[in-house]
Each structure stands twice: as C-alpha cells, then as structure tokens.
Structure 1
Amino acid sequence: MAQDDEGQERYRAPALDKGLDILELLAATDDGLSQGEIAKALDRTPNEIYRMLDRLVRRDYVRRTPEDRYALTLKLFELAHARPPLHRMISQATPVLRNFARAAQQAVHMVVQDRNVLVVVAQVDSPGYWNVSIRVGSRIGLVNTGSGHVYLAFATPEERKLMLEEQDLGPEKMPRELEARLEGVREQGYEMTPSAQVAGVSNITVPIFGPLGSVIAVLTCPYTKRLDKSDAPDMPSVLKLLQHTCAEISQRSPESA
C-alpha cells in the first residue's frame, strides 16, 4: 500500500488535480459557488483558484453567472454522450437524406457544431451523374455559409459569442447587415442564400431541433437549377422537402427519444 501511495504521489499533476477538484465540487452543488466559497471548500487561496476558474470558463466547462457565481455547464455531459448519439443520428438520418436526394434531385449534407466549430458529418449525392458536394469531415465557416447563419441565428447571445471567438471573430467584427440577416433567418426558420464559394449555387439550410428546442444539427442543400430536367423541383419545392426531412430526422433523433 505504501508503494502504491508513493507511486501516486510521484505522478501527481497538481494543476490537473486542482481543476478536477473544482469540477467535482461544483457537481455537488445546485446553485453554484462564489470564488471565495470554492477556495474555502478546497482549502486554497482565492488567487490559486482564480486562474483555474478562468481556464474552465474559457473552455466552457464552467460558466460565470450574473451573480458572480460559478456553475457547471453541460459540456462534460456532452463529452460523455456525444459520440454514440451522433453515430446513431447519422445512421438513422442517412436513409431519410437519400429519400430527400431522390425527391429533390439535389445533394444534401448534415452539419453539427463540435466545440463551437461546424463540421460536415454526413453527405448524400443527388441521383444524377453530377452534383455539388462537400467532403465529410470538412470544417465550414460561420459567417459565410448557410449552415453557419442558421447556427448563429438560433444560438443564445452567450453561445454566439463563444462560436465567434472560436474562429477569432468577436461580435464587433460581425457585419451589421449579417446581424439583421440572422434575425430574419430566426423568424422564417431557414436560410436561403447564394453560395459565397461557388457561382450558380444557392444554399438552402434548415435546422434540426432537439426536444428542448435547441439546434442539434442542420441540413444544407447546395441547390443548383437543373437544365436537363424540366420536371425537377424548383427552389421553393426543395425547401419544403428539406423542411419535411428535418422534421422526420428530429423525430428519429436519439436526443428526441
């Protein structure tokens, strides 16, 4: 036993221990704690606690309340559950996306928010011999894509600030016309905008909502007008198909169970 204790002491990481102590302490409280209360409970000075709290807040494990108290966010919960639900959502969404691609005669991709960065996690091509597609795993922009506009439009002010900071874009750097556009996106429930990357493409983006009303993913169709098929659905029709697809995926989503 003495040798085990000696080994544990040899490989101690004081800073990590301090951070874990704070997380475990906050996990046991309902209303959060002040910096002084945390320092007292852990038998440390407020200065020792300050820098660790600052890092935990910046990494979104802890939030600072308007009453100057600290409480856990849901990030640890998300880390523990992110992968299996995401895999299930993709698996259950894929046949629905294929149905959309056939009906709309357009490609479609799914985007999720991963640590305040937008990532393409699924892509289905149109049934024809050509389409506009985005590679799975690609990271896409916030302010110059339909997917980014929808996530920003439905984010809380705090979430929006974190998302912009993650890509080195503070609120003061966001164009005012974009703020007005985001309000419109939120009101109408979707985004429809010319692509900022490819000429002749219009991005149609619709959110997938979880049971608590938050956006858990978005679908974007890079719409291109078909000149070879006169019966191909037009843009308003594709929007309706995409909205129906999002509603069906939301019902199938593990987070809706």
Structure 2
Amino acid sequence: MSVKSAERVLRIFELLSANIDGMTIKEISETLQLPQSSTSGLIKTLLNENYLSVNQQNHFILGPKLIPVGNAAMESLDISSLGHSSLKELMELIEETVFMAVLADQELVYVAKIDSNRSIRTSAYPGGQKPLYCTGLGKAYLAFMNEADRADYLNTIELKPITKQTITDKEKLEEKLQEYKQQGYSIDNEENEDGLYCLAAPIFDMKGAIQAAISVAGPKERMLRQEDSIIKHLKQKANDISAKLGYVRKEGV
C-alpha cells in the first residue's frame, strides 16, 4: 500500500532533479497535476527541513540535506550488480556476448561478461584490462569523458597497432570520437581482435559523468546483419542502467 504524500514528495524530488534552475509552487503543482494547496504544504515542510532551498529567482531547488543522502546512496551502489539484469536481458535479445567495463588508471577493466549460447572466442574477461583507443568500450569512455581528460589521454598515449584495423592516427581517432558522441554509441571494427565487431554505449551517473560502458560483441558478419537492432537495444539498456545511478536524461538529448 502506497502513501500518497510520500509518493508526492518523491515526484517533487525527481522533478527538481531534472530542473536544476528550480521551479515555482505553481509550476510544480501543474507539472505533477497536484492541487496547489497540498503542493504548497509539502514544499514548505521540505523547505523547513532543508530538503529544499530557494534560489535567487525565488524558485525551489533541491536542498543541502539531500547531499549526504545522495553520496551515501552512490557509495552503496555496485554498478555491475545494478546492471546485471539489464545485461542479461540484452544478451537474450541479441544472442551475442555482452560486456561491462569501467576505467582504471587510463585503462579499461572488464567487470562483467555474459556469454550467449553462441559464445565467441575473445581475450576479454572480467578483471582483464585493455587499452581505451582500440576497444568499443574504451572509445565510449573517450567519446563521453570531459574534454580535458580526453586531451590528456591522447597527449600521453601511443596508439600502437593491435590489428591491421587499429586506428593509429590521433586526428582520425578524434574525428571518430566526435562522431560516436553525436550518435550515442561507439564502434570497434576489428581494431582489437581480428574478426570481432563491437558496439558500445556509455553509462552515466547522476551528475552526467560517464561511470561505465556496456557493449555487444560478436563476429563481424553476424553483428552487421542485426546492427540496427543491436544499437537500439544497447542504447536502451545503457539508459536503464544510467537511470539506476540517478541519471536524468535532459530533453532533446
């Protein structure tokens, strides 16, 4: 049994987290389709308890008391556990091997791998490390990390050829990364392992920073036959996991 006032408080928090410039009581009540009188009462209570604040435009915004709550929640999240069900669903939809990886010391570290019933031979395994510049997961990180970190990486790394398809020209790589950022996913076209084609998408946290990436990998010919379907499901599952980390996608993004 749900408690109506508690549900309304949660909807207010969700709404204001997506509107960082704040909103008036009237805007909140109209957006959530709530009576203005009860909305006003809830807002005043949350304001008195410091769960909400008022900015210079006299709009209500999220308050300082939510900061330690959010930090504690983030520390308790295990991203691979949070994403497991989505990764399993993705594997079942696509019937190809699915991975999740995080960044550690400018290298990719695999934290999850879910094999399909037609598993591929690959050198990637949980706990294993790979370069960023030649993997789909790594290029998702490079495409969506902040510009200063990407520039620092590209200025210090040597782009060694892993296969004949590895991109070793930094200008060409940067062009590809801009393309990947625009389309919302990255591609590894046999750049890390011969015959292996990979599509990867970013996982964002509540601040919009990339925290992980997920991918689908398989033999190139088989992957290309269902590429559009893979991209659709990959991006959807990436969005689902990002939402579990508190990420709120802005309109038009």
TM over 0.5: yes
- Render the CA deviation track for 1:99-148: whole Å, top value 9, x for unaligned: 1111100111111112332211111111x143245210111112111122
Match for residue 155 of structure 1? Answer: 145
Match for residue 66 of structure 1? Answer: none
Identity of aligned residues (%): 25
| Alignment gaps of 5+ in structure 1 | 1-79
Sort the Cα spacing of 1:168 and 1:176 in 2 relative to 1 into closer, same or farther, 3 A. Answer: closer
Shift, 1:252, TM fit: 1.8
Match 2:190 to one of 188, 195, 199: 195
Is 1:130 aligned to 2:124, yes or no?
no
Conserved? CA contact 1:104–1:233, under 8 Å: no
Sort the Cα spacing of 1:180 and 1:146 in 2 relative to 1 into closer, same or farther, 3 A. Answer: same
| Alignment gaps of 5+ in structure 2 | 1-70, 160-167, 249-253
Q: Distance in 1 between matches of 2:205 and 2:105?
A: 18
Match for residue 211 of structure 2? Answer: 216
Secondary structure, in 3 states, of the residue corresponding to 1:148? helix
**1:154 counterpart letter in structure 2:** F
Match 2:200 to one of 197, 205, 208: 205
Q: Which has the larger radius of gyration?
A: 1
Match for residue 49 of structure 1? Answer: none
Match for residue 89 of structure 2? Answer: 99
Is 1:185 aligned to 2:180, yes or no?
yes
Conserved? CA contact 2:120–2:218, under 8 Å: no
Q: Distance in 2 between matches of 1:166 and 1:111?
A: 22
Q: Distance in 1 between matches of 2:146 and 2:172?
A: 19
Is 1:242 aligned to 2:234, yes or no?
yes
Secondary structure, in 3 states, of the residue corresponding to 2:208? coil
Conserved? CA contact 1:203–1:221, under 8 Å: yes
Shift, 1:190, TM fit: 0.7
Secondary structure, in 3 states, of the residue corresponding to 1:137? coil
Match runs of 1:37-116 below 5 Å: 85=76, 88-116=78-106
Is 1:251 aligned to 2:243, yes or no?
yes
Conserved? CA contact 1:106–1:224, under 8 Å: no
Shift, 1:155, TM fit: 2.0
Shift, 1:193, TM fit: 3.2
Conserved? CA contact 1:117–1:163, under 8 Å: no
Secondary structure, in 3 states, of the residue corresponding to 1:99? helix
Conserved? CA contact 1:208–1:217, under 8 Å: yes
Sort the Cα spacing of 1:233 and 1:177 in 2 relative to 1 into closer, same or farther, 3 A. Answer: closer
- Render the CA deviation track for 1:201-236: whole Å, top value 9, x for unaligned: 211011111222111111111133687xxxx97111
Q: Distance in 2 between matches of 1:117 and 1:240?
A: 27
Shift, 1:85, TM fit: 4.5
**1:122 counterpart letter in structure 2:** A
TM-align CA RMSD = 3.1
Match for residue 43 of structure 1? Answer: none
- Number of aligned positions between the proteins: 169
Sort the Cα spacing of 1:165 and 1:121 in 2 relative to 1 into closer, same or farther, 3 A. Answer: farther
Q: Distance in 1 between matches of 2:90 and 2:225?
A: 11
Report the TM-score when normalising by structure 1: 0.57
Secondary structure, in 3 states, of the residue corresponding to 1:181? helix
Q: Distance in 2 between matches of 1:109 and 1:166?
A: 27
